[in-house]
Structure 1
Amino acid sequence: MAIAVAKFVAAAFTGSSSMLAEGIHSVADSGNQVLLLIGGKRAARASTKEHPFGYGRERYFYAFVVAVVLFTIGAAFSLYEGIHKIVAPHGVDAPIWAFAVLIFAIIAEAFSFRTAIVESNAVRGKQSWVAFIRRSKSPELPVILLEDLGALLGLIFALFGVTMAVITGDGTWDGIGTVMIGVLLAVIAVVLAMETKSLLVGEGATPEMERQIREALESAPEVARIIHMRTLHLGPEELLVGAKIAVAGEDTAGEVARGIDEAERRIREAVPIARVIYLEPDLDRARTTPDASPTGA
C-alpha cells in the first residue's frame, strides 16, 4: 500500500498514465493478499452438517476471486487508461518523481519476488516453475509468485514508457507502456483463473502421491489387489481417498475389518494429508472365479 501511495503521488505530479496504472495495480495486489488471508481463515473452520468435508476448498474460491479482481481492476483499468493516453497524448511533467518512485518500487518488488521464490523453493522440489504453478494444490504461493512477477514486469514497462515519453517528448509512449501493463495483467489473470478453476472443480492427488497410496494399500496383508481407486483434494492439505479392494473369499468379516483398518493406517503413514479414507471390500474374483473379469464388480 505504501508503494501504491507513492505511485499515486508520482502520477499526480507527472500526469503519467503508466504511474496511475501501476498505482491501481498495487492497490489490486494489496487487496488480493487480503482476499488470500480471508480464504485461509475461512478454510480453517471446522466441518458442519451442511459441509461435512469442511471448508478447505474456500482457499481455491478466494484464489479464483483474486484472478477476477486482477483482471477487472488491474488489467481493464490499465488498458482503458493506456488507450485513452494514446488517443489523447500529453507529455510527462516533473519526470524525476516517476523515476524515483519506479526505481524504489522495482527494488522493493524485487525483494518481495525473491521472498516468494525462496518460499516456493522450499516446497517445489525438482519441479520446473511451470510445473509447480500448474500442479501446486496450495493456491497462495503460485498466486503470489505470478503477482510479484507481474508487479516487477509492470514496473519495468512503466519505466520504459515514461523514459521514452521523456526522451522523445511524445506522451504516446506513456500510453503504450500503460497498455503493456494491462496486457501483462490480463495474461496473468487468465493463467490464474484457469489454474484455480481446475482446483475449484476438483483435482486428484499427484502421480507420486497416488503411487505412494497404492503401494501402502497393496502392502496390507489382507488386501489382495486394488480394483479401482479415486482421490480428490478437499483442500490443499486434505485428501479424500476412495478405493475398492479385493479380499480373499475365505476371510471372516472381522479379518476384513482389521485389514481395512491396517490399510487405512498405512495410507495415512505414507501420505499424512490423506485424512478421509473410504475402502470398499470385494471378493477377489480373480482367485475365486478364474473366468471373471480382472476388474472385479
Structure 2
Amino acid sequence: MSSSRSQSIQGTLPVIAALLGNGFIAVLKFVGFFISGSGAMLSEAIHSFADTANQALLMVGIRRSKKKATNEFSYGYGKERFLWALISACGIFFVGAGATIYQGINALIRPQHADVTYIVFTILAISFVIESGTLIVAYRELRKTGGKAKFKKILKNGDPATIAVLYEDGIAVLGVVVAFVSILLTELTGAYYWDAIGSIVIGLMLGVMAIILINKNRALLLGKAIPEEVKDRIIEILEEDPAIESVTDFRSAIMDVGKYRIKCEVEFNGNALAKEMFARGALREEFEEVRNDYQEFIKFCVDYIDRVPRLVGNHIDKIEKRIQEEYPEVVHIDIELN
C-alpha cells in the first residue's frame, strides 16, 4: 500500500469500529435505564449516544478530507478532518458532558428509586468488553502509524480522529466502571445520591476530555507547525547544501494527517553553484568557441544570463527532492531566495 493511500484511510478503521460498537451499546444502555431507572445508567446511555453521533461526524470529516484539490481550494480539503473533529469535540462537551452533569444534579435534587437487576450489570459488562475492544483498535492504529515514537509524542502529532476515538473509548471504559460502582453502592446502601454522584463524575470526565480535543483540533485548524524534530532536520538538509549559506526564515503547517507544507527563505550562494558547474567542465566548449572574439563573448554572456534562473531552479528542485525523499509527508515546498 502506498504512503499516500495509507494516509488517506488513516483513522477509518477505529472510527467505524467505535461507531458500530457505541451504537449497539447505546441501545443496550437505554434498555438498562428503562428497566432500572438508574440515573448513572441514563448518563452512560447519553454518553454512548453522544459518542455514536460524534464518531459519525468524525467519519464525515475523514471522507471529506479525501476530496481532491480544486481551483478554489488549491491545497485540498485535508483540514476538513480537523473541522469535523472539532465539531465532534464540541458535541461531547455540550451534549455528552452537559446532559450527563445535568442529569446527575437533577438526581441529587430529586432522588428517584432505581430498580437494579442482574440485567443492568450484564449490560454494563457487555459494554465494558465492547468499549475495551474499540479502545484497543484505536490504540493499535496509533501505534502502527506512530512507529517507534513514544506514545506521548504520538498523542501529540497523531490523527485527531483516532485520538478522539482513543480518548472517548478510554473515558467510556472508565465510565462503565464508575456506573457499576455507583449503582452497586446505591443497591447496597440504599442511598440514591451514589447514583447521582456517578452521573456527575462521568459528565466531568467527558468535559475534561472534550476540552483537550477542542484545543488539539483548534491548533490544527489554525495551522499548527510541523513537529520540531522534523523542522530541525529539514533546515539541516537545506544548510548541508553548498549553495545555501543559511535559512533566514522557516514556516510550516500541518495540512492533513501526514501532509505538511513548508515555506522558507534562504541565503543563496551563487559562487558555490558556479564552482560545482565548472568542476563538471561546464562551458569549456563555449569558451573555446569565443575565446578569440570579444563580440562573440559578449553575445554568449547575454544569452547565458537567460539560463541562470533555470540553473538555480533546477538546483532548488534537487534540494526539494532530497527533502521529500526523507520526508514524503512534505507535499508542498516553497523555497524563496534572498
User: What is the TM-score of this pair, normalised by structure 2?
Assistant: 0.79
Conserved? CA contact 1:17–1:178, under 8 Å: yes
Distance of 1:107 and 1:254 partners within structure 2: 63
Distance of 1:90 and 1:129 partners within structure 2: 43
Task: Please show how residues 207-246 of structure 1 align to structure 2 within 5 Å.
Answer: 207-246=228-267
Residue 253 of structure 1 corresponds to 309
Deviation digits for residues 2-26 of structure 1 (CA, Å, limit 9, x no counterpart): 1111100110010011111111111
Quote the offset at 1:128 in angstroms.
4.5
Structure 2 counterpart SS, 1:224? strand
Structure 1 residues 24-33 or 3-12, which shifts more? 24-33
> Which letter does structure 2 place at the counterpart of 1:280?
E
Match of 2:204 among 169, 183, 203: 183
Question: What runs of 5+ residues in structure 1 fail to find an aligned partner?
Answer: 283-297
Conserved? CA contact 1:83–1:179, under 8 Å: yes
Distance of 1:46 and 1:219 partners within structure 2: 35
Quote the offset at 1:127 in angstroms.
4.7
> Which letter does structure 1 place at the counterpart of 2:316?
I
Quote the offset at 1:153 in angstroms.
0.7
Structure 1 residues 10-19 or 228-237, which shifts more? 228-237
Structure 1 counterpart SS, 2:244? coil
Conserved? CA contact 1:216–1:270, under 8 Å: no
Structure 2 counterpart SS, 1:25? helix
Deviation digits for residues 222-255 of structure 1 (CA, Å, limit 9, x no counterpart): 3233222111111122211111122224453333
Match of 2:83 among 61, 85, 95: 61
Distance of 2:246 and 2:164 partners within structure 1: 40
Structure 2 counterpart SS, 1:51? coil
Quote the offset at 1:221 in angstroms.
4.1
Quote the offset at 1:257 in angstroms.
1.4
Task: Please show how residues 275-294 of structure 1 align to structure 2 within 5 Å.
Answer: 275-282=331-338
> Which letter does structure 2 place at the counterpart of 1:238?
K
Structure 1 residues 89-98 or 29-38, which shifts more? 89-98
Structure 1 residues 248-257 or 21-30, which shifts more? 248-257
Residue 111 of structure 1 corresponds to 133
> Which letter does structure 1 place at the counterpart of 2:321?
R
Quote the offset at 1:80 in angstroms.
0.7
Structure 1 residues 204-213 or 123-132, which shifts more? 123-132
Deviation digits for residues 241-285 of structure 1 (CA, Å, limit 9, x no counterpart): 111122224453333112111111111111101111111122xxx
| Alpha-carbon distance change, 141 to 92 in structure 1, aligned in 2, over 3 angstroms | same
Quote the offset at 1:120 in angstroms.
1.7
Number of equivalences? 281
Question: What runs of 5+ residues in structure 2 fail to find an aligned partner?
Answer: 1-22, 275-307
> Which letter does structure 2 place at the counterpart of 1:74?
G
Residue 161 of structure 1 corresponds to 182
Residue 81 of structure 1 corresponds to 103
Distance of 2:310 and 2:135 partners within structure 1: 56
> Which letter does structure 1 place at the counterpart of 2:105?
I
Distance of 1:44 and 1:121 partners within structure 2: 22
Quote the offset at 1:95 in angstroms.
2.6
Match of 2:56 among 34, 38, 42: 34
Distance of 2:317 and 2:48 partners within structure 1: 52
Match of 1:193 among 214, 218, 240: 214
> Which letter does structure 2 place at the counterpart of 1:202?
G
> Which letter does structure 2 place at the counterpart of 1:93?
D
User: What is the TM-score of this pair, normalised by structure 1?
Assistant: 0.90
Conserved? CA contact 2:243–2:270, under 8 Å: no
Distance of 2:108 and 2:117 partners within structure 1: 18
| Alpha-carbon distance change, 178 to 206 in structure 1, aligned in 2, over 3 angstroms | same
Quote the offset at 1:62 in angstroms.
0.8
Residue 154 of structure 2 corresponds to 132
Residue 52 (str. 1) matches residue 74 (str. 2): yes
Distance of 1:58 and 1:157 partners within structure 2: 35
> Which letter does structure 2 place at the counterpart of 1:166?
E
Residue 288 of structure 1 corresponds to none
- Structure having the higher helix fraction is 2
